[in-house]
Chain A
Amino acid sequence: MSSKFKIFDPNTLRKFENLTLIASQVRAGAMKGERRSVKRGTSIEFADYRDYAKGDDLRRVDWNIYARLERPFIKLLEEEEDLAVHFLLDASASMDWPREGNRDHHKFIWSLRVLAGLAYLSLSSGDFVHITALRADHNHQWGPHRGRAYTVPLLQNLEKIYTRGDTNLDLALKDYALRTRRVGLCIILSDMMSPTYKDGLSALQSRGFEVAIIQVLSPDEVNPTLDGDLRLIDVESGIPQEVTVDASMKQLYQERLLAWQEEIGDFCLRRGIHFITAETSLPWEELILYQLRRIGVVR
């Protein structure tokens, strides 16, 4: 990646100001986090009563009820908690594509910008943000951090991430599910060019993660510009594939791509996973401002 090229150039940074508007709508409370937890906790908002049981904290007995009914009841209060947002970015070599042409259509750069936008929203909402770049050599980690003050460190950190090697998405997700202490919303940015992904997603779900997948594809992956008798070299694995590309072959490829996306989509639908596929020719902020809000990933 060229050192002169800035992922977060002034033009990109200006677009963050649009996100501020959403962030201000999302963030109603302060540091504590606004999201209502399913746990009954120590907040002041009443939820329900239940009978006292042996071993319950006596401080939580509602003595006024006890005085009136002479039976001990435990007052259940809703706990309000901050959300942990996990961003898992596929940093395999296949994300470093296309290697020429318009850099704004580069899958990894585009993914970083989307990630930065979403992370900024999360930081602004008082959520804990945890970023992990899944890479063959070692995973790059950042966070957890909370608060808008981490915006600049976030961007600085994201600019340091690079792509390398062959990532087994399935293994990487399973590993992440095992290692993470605090579960929450897990947003995965990947091209999903991997035959195995289901176990990893299941592992995340079984740990309690709410999972959203953004499949990132470049325009030439959707409409290949290849032609003739070719030996295609996979930049990630180096595995060659000989193929004669003509009009009918291109058509078959597009049908295969659509079938692949629908297969992932069907799996996600059954498992309650958000899934969206995005072409990098789409402005990244439009994905956040419009598409992700439509499917409820962003409020």
Chain B
Amino acid sequence: MGGFGFLSLASLAFSALAIPIFLLYMLRLRRTDMPISSTFLWQQLVRDREANAPWQRLRLNWLLFLQLLILAVLVLALARPYQEVETITRGRIVLLLDASASMNATDLNGQTRFAEAQKIALDTINTLGEDDTMTVIRVGEVPEVLAAATRDRTVLRRAIREATPSVGKADWPAALTLAASGSLGVDELQVVVLSDGGLPDDLPVVPGEVLFVKVGESDSNVGITVLSVRQLPDQPPQMFAQLENFSTQGSRVILELRLDGEFYNSQFYTIPAGDVLNIVEADLPENFTKLEARLSPPSNASTPDYLRIDDVAYAVHAEAATGNVLLITEGNIFLEELFENLTGINLTVSTPEQGILRGDYDLIVFDSWLPNELPTKEDIFIINPTTSTNLFAVSGESTDTAIDPITGGVSIEDERTRFLDFSSVAIRNFQVLEDVSWADFLVETENGDPLVLAGEFEGQQVAILTFALSNSNLPLQIQWPILVANLMDWYRPQRAINVISLAPAEPIAIRPTVPADTVVIRKPNGERIRFTLDESPEVFFADTAALGFYDIEILLDGDIVQTDSFAVNLFDRAESNIRPIDTLTLQGSGGETVIRSTTGEETGRRELWRYFVYIGLIILGIEWWYYHRSRNRKIKPKAPFLQGTESEKARRWWAIRPSRR
């Protein structure tokens, strides 16, 4: 707390206005003429010999006193009194308010770090000079400018009060870039970082001075940093969880598991200080889709857990989609290796001599061999067809394998040719097929002969590679597994989403694998968001700021045709590690800059004129009240002389009555 002073001493000259106020009280009022029967009594009443003079003697008058008081207060306000206070900085300020998940830690006497940062920010606003400006940036998953370079303290205060912390990771490089963008044309930019840490080491240097204010005290936190569920073929689902103790003391926790909302299991675990505990739950029941893991401290826990949002984690059990594939080949190492490595594939290999083995297959792959009669139930993948079938006619071999170097011979806008490029693929010769109007040509030569084609024929999905793998360098290229994976996706519909766990605010693409017109997403709070699939076959959803399960319903004509779920988890060691940092490191062209945490080193001036104005308004109100009270005060009317009670009349008349003659 420092001294007091005035920014505008010259304004004190306004106190000379007291003179006209005095004069107004001494000057006789201009009065309204009013005839009256006799001024005899009024003259006696006033008894003021100076009544007719322009000036009257100044008397003690409460209204005068109050008016002088108002003047004094207003003059003081105009002189802009200030109080010297300690502050972080002054001038052109960019305030970066860390809104990352770790700012939810409640290690400040039950108050969150974010609330403390808000308090520091508000204190800084209170000490801003009249010419100082401030920009407030909330540093969350996406940095957000809450107030842009304004002097308006009301706007700044409201921006800071309305800010909330996120549950995700802060994007500091983007925030500092945003802060630097405000430095254009500004001489002395002051960037104030209100944070507890979790900043990356390679932050860009920003122009101007960077001040770092540390928020937070403790590192006591245990969190779930990994949770996943997976299921291998012919095995029960497994859970893998990782618990990490970030504090410098050992900690005991209870891990509770819930499957589809129903309690499943809970167990005590002891995690040494700074250690990681991996937990595998190998024998989970088959039929569940959602696993929720929740950490809680035992009742006798000695180590507090200040960050609660990493004590809960969510995982979706995506059932493995498996398919039985029969490969009939003379022996093709490329094919066998590839199918064996594809997930969710049960591969059975046969030879042309063995023919189609008895079994329940989803797909049959014919490599350079075809049976007399093609199967009619299973999907078919034919490589190097040598004889005509009911699906096509082989008209001979061709060596004219030139491919359009620009397009790569690949049909664009087809899911089955995604990421595919045949421009570097060399083919010696291929079978020329005819009568294949049912199929789409996925890859073709410059002459329009199909190299790869696929389509549906009487309910069967059929794909054909018109050349032998041994006559091409395709198996040696990356295009080969891409092509097969694309075809497998086509044969076997995949999930509508390709991830089942996201970080907060991370976007997700939802691509229905069945004909659909609407996608509905239900957020963890129950809110349902509806998207209509018009032209785009997929929906991008980024409103994933809340932790929890998100359910997807894909509809066609109002009927649910596909469902899926994904989970949003913190899973960020940098955020779960709530130990506040003491220094901030910036990487610039001039080398590394280390900034230490600062607290109120500058002297700010807290202006007090508003308080004087408030006091002046209160006194004005009192004056108004006093004036009207004195004007409207009710008096008890005097009874006329000849009215009143009998006793009063008697007292008046008979007391002055002379004795009778």
Contacts and interface: CB of A to CB of B under 8 A. Distances in A.
B40 interface: yes
Interface of B: 28-46, 51-52, 630-635, 637-638, 640-643, 652-661
A241 B658 contact: no
Interface stretch (A14-22, A54-62, A246-254): A246-254
B37 A235 contact: yes
B549 to A, nearest CB: 76
B153 to A, nearest CB: 45
A295 B661 CA distance: 11
A252 B42 CA distance: 10
9 contacts: A193-B40, A223-B638, A230-B32, A236-B38, A242-B31, A243-B42, A265-B656, A274-B657, A291-B653
B34 A274 contact: no
A258 B655 contact: no
Nearest to B659: A272
Interface stretch (A45-53, A138-146, A276-284): A276-284
Contacts of B657: 269, 274-275, 295-296
Given A256-B45, A296-B660, A241 B39 contact: yes
Contact of B33 (A94, A219, A231): A231
Contacts of B43: 239, 241
A102 B177 CA distance: 89
Contacts of A289: none
Contact of B31 (A193, A231, A237): A231
A266 B633 CA distance: 33
A243 B45 CA distance: 9
Nearest to B654: A295
A29 interface: no
Contacts of B643: 279
B42 A97 contact: no
A296 B46 CA distance: 38
B501 to A, nearest CB: 82
Interface in A101-123: 107
Contacts of B33: 230-231, 233, 240
Of all A-B residue pairs in the complex, the 6 with the closest CB atoms, nearest first, are A265-B656, A97-B37, A193-B38, A272-B658, A241-B39, A234-B39
B630 A235 contact: no
B173 to A, nearest CB: 74
Given A193-B41, A296-B661, A247 B640 contact: no
Contacts of B42: 232, 241, 243, 253
B37 A236 contact: yes
A230 B45 contact: no
Contacts of B52: 240, 242
B34 A230 contact: yes
A231 B44 contact: no
Given A222-B638, A252-B45, A230 B655 contact: no
A241 B37 contact: no
B61 to A, nearest CB: 12
Given A107-B37, A279-B640, 20 more contacts: A94-B38, A193-B41, A218-B37, A221-B37, A223-B637, A229-B30, A231-B33, A232-B34, A233-B34, A239-B39, A242-B28, A246-B630, A246-B633, A253-B41, A257-B41, A258-B641, A265-B655, A269-B655, A269-B658, A278-B641
Given A94-B37, A233-B33, A248-B633, A281 B640 contact: yes
A10 interface: no
A229 B635 contact: no
A233 B641 contact: no
The CB with the most chain A CB atoms within 10 A, among B28, B642, B656, is that of B656
Nearest to B51: A242
Given A268-B656, A274-B658, A234 B635 contact: no
A257 to B, nearest CB: 6
Contacts of B634: 247
Nearest to B639: A222
A273 B643 CA distance: 22
Contacts of B29: 229, 244
Contacts, number: 151
A210 interface: yes
A229 B31 contact: yes
A283 to B, nearest CB: 11
A260 interface: yes
A208 B524 CA distance: 116
A282 B640 CA distance: 10
B638 A258 contact: yes
Interface string A206-230: 0000100000011101110010111
A261 B641 contact: yes
Contacts of A273: 658
A292 to B, nearest CB: 11
A10 to B, nearest CB: 26
A191 interface: yes
Contact of B632 (A240, A247, A256): A247
B595 to A, nearest CB: 70
Nearest to A276: B653
A229 B46 CA distance: 13
B32 A229 contact: yes
A294 interface: yes
Nearest to A255: B638
Nearest to A272: B658
Contacts of A294: 653
Give the most central of A232, A251, A261, A282: most B CB within 10 Å: A232
B31 A230 contact: yes
Contacts of B28: 242
Most buried by A among B52, B642, B659: B642
Residue from B43, B630, B638 whose CB has the most chain A CB atoms within 10 Å: B638
A2 interface: no
Contact of A195 (B34, B40, B638, B652): B40
A268 B656 CA distance: 7
Q: Which of A98, A230, A278 has the most CB of B within 10 A?
A: A230
Contacts of A295: 653-654, 657
A274 B660 CA distance: 9
A127 to B, nearest CB: 15
Contacts of B633: 246-248
B32 A231 contact: yes
Given A98-B37, A193-B38, A210 B635 contact: no
Given A230-B32, A276-B653, A260 B41 contact: yes
Contacts of A266: 656
Contacts of B32: 228-231
A194 interface: yes
A62 to B, nearest CB: 31
A186 to B, nearest CB: 13
Contacts of A254: 638
A266 B652 CA distance: 10
A97 B42 CA distance: 16
Given A98-B37, A248-B630, A272-B659, A256 B44 contact: yes
A262 B44 CA distance: 15
Contacts of A107: 37
Max count, chain A CB within 10 A of own CB: residue among B30, B39, B633: B39
Contacts of A261: 641
Contact of B38 (A191, A230, A275): A191
Nearest to A107: B37
Nearest to A250: B635
Given A228-B32, A229-B29, A251 B37 contact: no
A205 B160 CA distance: 95
Contacts of A218: 37
B40 A219 contact: no
Contacts of A269: 655-658
A210 B642 contact: no
Contacts of A247: 630-635
A278 B41 contact: no
Contacts of A232: 34-36, 39, 42
Contacts of B653: 276, 291, 294-295
A241 B656 contact: no
A282 B653 CA distance: 16
A254 B45 CA distance: 10
